[in-house]
A and B are shown apart, each in its own frame.
Chain A
Amino acid sequence: MTWSVTARGAHQPDNTAFTQQRLPAWQPLLSAGITLPLFFCAGLAFIGLGLGLFYSSNGIKELEYDYTGDGGTGNCSLCAAEGQGRAPPPSCSCAWYFSLPELFPGPVYLYYELSNFYQNNRRYGVSRDDAQLSGLVSALRHPANECAPYQLSATGLPIAPCGAIANSLFNDSFTLWHQRQPGGPYIEVPLDRTAIAWWTDYHVKFRNPPLVNGSLALAFRGTAPPPNWHRPVYELSPDPNNTGFINQDFVVWMRTAALPTFRKLYARIRQGNYSAGLPRGSYRVNITYNYPVRAFGGHKLIILSNISWMGGKNPFLGIAYLVVGSLCILMGFVMLVVYIRYQDQDDDDNDDE
């Protein structure tokens, strides 16, 4: 005896796979048949990759020299001592001598490295005006408030480029000299200072304000250089394509570092006789020592390095890959043992029930 009405309800949803949650589905299963091979394969792949990375990283040559001049080491200690407690520190020159017993294969890159320099400090990191650096005239005249206290000069002129980052521009300079034979003359190694910044930075992000009467200096008229600078921004280089906001050193510096110890590219060595690398012989790096780092316990280093397909020297990735690969395999074995031991027990349990 049934009393029910069997008509389809007016609000009954459609009987489709989607509305009734019956879509064909894949169930990720953590079964031993999938998990164990996964672990072993991943482990092997990682170890292989790790070995490759480790060897390529080891194949990279790196030469570095700390020219801070702490504790009277090296001939830069004189400069360091001279600059102690003086602001701005006087210009001073020193040199780093080294010799290469064999060819330093190219292309060789020259870096400077600063340590204990917190370019990633929040207030330092925001102390810039990207609108000004992109060449907007309005921003040139009215720098962003983030730039304060390097927004306006003491006389009330807008600072260009404004902000703490620009104000602290690294201003040591290096030249590299090569002595082929002992006692022979030092020949200057040409340093390619172009294309050291990102293409996008140099071409898009950083732009000079429009020239006034064909002159960059006029375009910057009515602005003041940052207080630590000795010369205005339009005189950073005599090359019109490398001066003002698009000066490559400046652009490199403005790409602030993420970590308190950082390297920045200074120059590439790839011209003339040195395109294949630095031949053996004695070398001298003349350093113009301007930048004070001892006040904050920092260090300045100069680094010569070449690179491989995976970038510069960095043993971390290789080792990490090897460790993780071994870990995978180890864990695979543990899981295999557990699986073999407990599987029977599991079956027994099921039988009991």
Chain B
Amino acid sequence: NDKVDFSYNRLADPKFSFYDNALVEAVKSEDRLVYLFFLCLSLCHTVMSEEKVEGELVYQAQSPDEGALVTASRNFGFVFSSRTSETITVIEMGKIRVYQLLALLDFSNERKRMSVVVRTPEDRVMLFCKGADTIIYELLHPSCASLSEVTMDHLDDFASEGLRTLMVAYRELDNTFFQTWIKKHSEACLTLEDRERKLNLVYEEAERDLILLGATAIEDKLQSGVPETICTLTKAKIKVWVLTGDKQETAVNIAYSCRIFKDEMDGLFVVEGTDRETVLQELRAARNKMKPESLLESDPINICLARKTKLPFRVLDETPNGSYGLVINGYSLAYALEGNMELELLRTACMCKGVVCCRMTPLQKAQVVDLVKRYKKVVTLAIGDGANDIGMIKGMNLWGFIAAAHIGVGISGHEGMQAMLNSDFSFCQFRYLQRLLLVHGRWSYNRMCKFLSYFFYKNFAFTLVHFWYAFFNGFSAQDVNETWSLCYPELYEPGQHNLYFNKKEFLKCLMHGIYSSFVLFFVSMGTVFNSERSDGKDISDFQSFSLIVQSTLIWVVTMQVWPLVVGIALRTNFWTLISHAFIWGSLGFYFCMLLFLCSDGLYLMFPSIFHFLGVARNILNQPQMWLCLVLSTILCLIPGIGYNFLRLFLWPVNVDKVLNRIHVCLKHPLPPPVKTKIKHPGLRRSAYAFSHKHGFGALITSGKTLKPNAFKTSKRVL
């Protein structure tokens, strides 16, 4: 679609783009409901306007959502231009109209709506209301039942797309009703006791029998694809914690809109204690609800914690009895991160599906990451876009050592480049994280594992050939003999650490390596033992033998690339032209190098280094050498291929099945899945635009904060 041309409106915000011409036509044709709808948007809010430069309106909104709505209505020709404590000036399609603000029924968390009562220049008293759809729905006049059904359907659609929705309605008050109501209102305003409740009652009196005007849906400020990404990551069993400096309400709402918290969760724990004991109690209570037995003395983790206090140890995973969320604010976190509390926090938090930490300092972000890193056997990834995320992305000096996530990802965004410049990986949208992890991460892991297996295999094969040879040369080439090895067990120590590359896989490589080395050595030995070359000279000299073993080894190990690779990542492996070039090229290169290293020239220059002179020429022309090579290669390949072939049928694992299915799907592509509409219960649809404790309503009506020039105008009006 083309962008709508807002040139008819002199005051339009040039940054605003819109793509539905139907709505503009409706505005231009002065449809009454559309007119009221935009009028409501431009009247019912607490935005302040500012005109720094002549003709350039700037809005100061309490929440970005309100700002967006007012900006939208401005672009459609309903420009909110200024307000005083008693008037609101709107430029409606170029005509300046001043509405008298009679009452502002402010937002509160219970009401989840706000209204304004204005007197139009035509001297009609109108009440405009916008608010959470579930609330407004109850207050609608029965006459708009059919419209409201349609609207609710649309709202469901919007909500399932992660949009924040509002309903907009109005009511025309007749003068007599208004007179009595405004009296009650001022009385309620002036009461000293229980004013809030009384005010609410008065408000409710006015806000009923509303006529539905429409609904608004505001896209999250979130980057696109964030909820989907988080959903995918959760499916991949990745836990997401939100560490933010935002206000608690904002953070929780964002968590809801990113689907970190879901409405179907069994419970949401909020930790906001302001002293140690309260925080501890709150954490314990949360755990009591999630897994009561984890508080007992007999719980294995408690026993484990009680017994050993020496670092480092790992806290095992615990399974709660449902899905829960945890919200903790920075103030409580300061206590929770203290020495003996941190494990309480960790255990509670790790049982929750989603964790939101708000009002955090950069240091606390790093501390939380470090906490998880220290006690859990996990890999952590920190992603952020702001300068205050650098702590957890790049590392922060905590108690003398650097605390940071294993992987730091920076998002280049509005908040500058610092996070990006300090990260291991950086991209410009959060949703690329799933590609980084699930595509490139997985590939990288697969490749790494393949590489490691191959590396170990190759080295075993290579080293053990020497080991077998030791039996035939009187063990004369050991660097440290057995006595020394026993005297200095430290020599063995490096081998005991860092062996966490899947032990089973390692063992397989080891066995395979042993087998290959065995084949390599003994086949070569059998070939040369007491045998002669086809020219009658003996073949079993040291240099020829080493050349035969080495060439066979290189050949076998290179050929092994493909069954090994096929074995690990069955069917997900692709051999491109480049792979071919390098693999076969490396073999060819080996023989070239061999001829070069055994050449006369090199020997004549450095006789004591290149003393393998002529070996290549004398051995590579021998049939035995090639017979040995082919035999060893086949012998080393058979078990791998056979095993992998049989494994598919006899011991198929889950991944095989999935891969198999992918393979079938590749052959017979499935139609794209039909999007099922998710019906969300209304709860979440309350817009976070209003989630602040109170609006500016009281301030606006009191007129205290208005700028002096605004005062002047108001006086003039008076």
Contact = CB atoms under 8 A, between A and B. Distances in A.
Interface residues of B, number: 80
B473 A311 contact: no
Interface string B596-634: 000010011001100101100110001110011001001
Contacts of A320: 523, 526, 631
Contacts, number: 225
A339 B18 CA distance: 61
A316 B641 contact: no
B468 to A, nearest CB: 12
A200 B608 contact: no
A182 interface: no
Interface string A237-261: 0000000000000000001111111
A200 B534 CA distance: 17
Contact of B538 (A42, A264, A343): A264
A92 to B, nearest CB: 26
B634 A46 contact: yes
B339 to A, nearest CB: 45
Interface string A248-282: 00000001111111111100100000000000000
Given A314-B529, A320-B631, A328-B634, A335 B618 contact: no
B603 A205 contact: yes
Interface string B513-525: 0000000000101
Contacts of B108: none
Interface string B645-663: 1101110100001001000
Nearest to A118: B474
Interface string A322-338: 00100110010011001
B542 A23 contact: no
Interface string B577-599: 11110000000000000000000
A159 to B, nearest CB: 16
Contacts of A4: 224
Contact of B19 (A2, A29, A256, A268): A2
Interface in B540-597: 540-546, 562, 565-566, 570-571, 573-580
B37 to A, nearest CB: 16
A118 B649 contact: no
Contacts of B529: 259, 261, 314, 316
Contacts of B652: 346
A293 to B, nearest CB: 16
Residue with the highest number of chain A CB atoms closer than 10 Å, among B532, B544, B545, B634: B532
B638 A328 contact: yes
B635 A324 contact: yes
Contacts of B613: 200-201, 204-205
A307 B476 contact: no
B538 A310 contact: no
A28 B574 CA distance: 7
Contacts of B578: 23
B238 interface: no
A26 B565 CA distance: 13
A136 B523 contact: no
A304 B190 CA distance: 128
Given A113-B530, A314-B527, A335-B642, A257 B542 contact: yes
Contact of B573 (A28, A107, A268): A28
A324 B540 contact: no
Contacts of A256: 541-542
Contact of B641 (A30, A199, A334, A349): A30
Contacts of B635: 324
A35 B641 contact: yes
Contact of B531 (A268, A311, A346): A311
Contact of A310 (B611, B627, B631): B627
Nearest to A321: B631
A265 B541 CA distance: 11
A30 B537 contact: no
B474 A121 contact: yes
B600 A130 contact: no
B546 A258 contact: yes
Contacts of A109: 532, 536
B541 A123 contact: no
Rank and list the top 10 A-B pairs by shortest CB-CB distance, nearest first. A200-B614, A312-B532, A25-B574, A258-B545, A316-B526, A342-B649, A23-B576, A314-B531, A120-B473, A122-B477
Given A307-B535, A314-B526, 18 more contacts: A2-B17, A3-B219, A24-B576, A25-B574, A27-B574, A38-B641, A39-B642, A120-B542, A200-B613, A258-B472, A263-B538, A309-B623, A311-B531, A311-B534, A311-B539, A317-B526, A317-B527, A328-B634
22 contacts: A26-B575, A27-B571, A118-B474, A197-B537, A200-B618, A201-B613, A205-B603, A258-B546, A259-B529, A260-B472, A262-B541, A263-B538, A307-B534, A310-B534, A310-B624, A311-B534, A312-B530, A314-B527, A316-B526, A317-B631, A335-B645, A338-B646
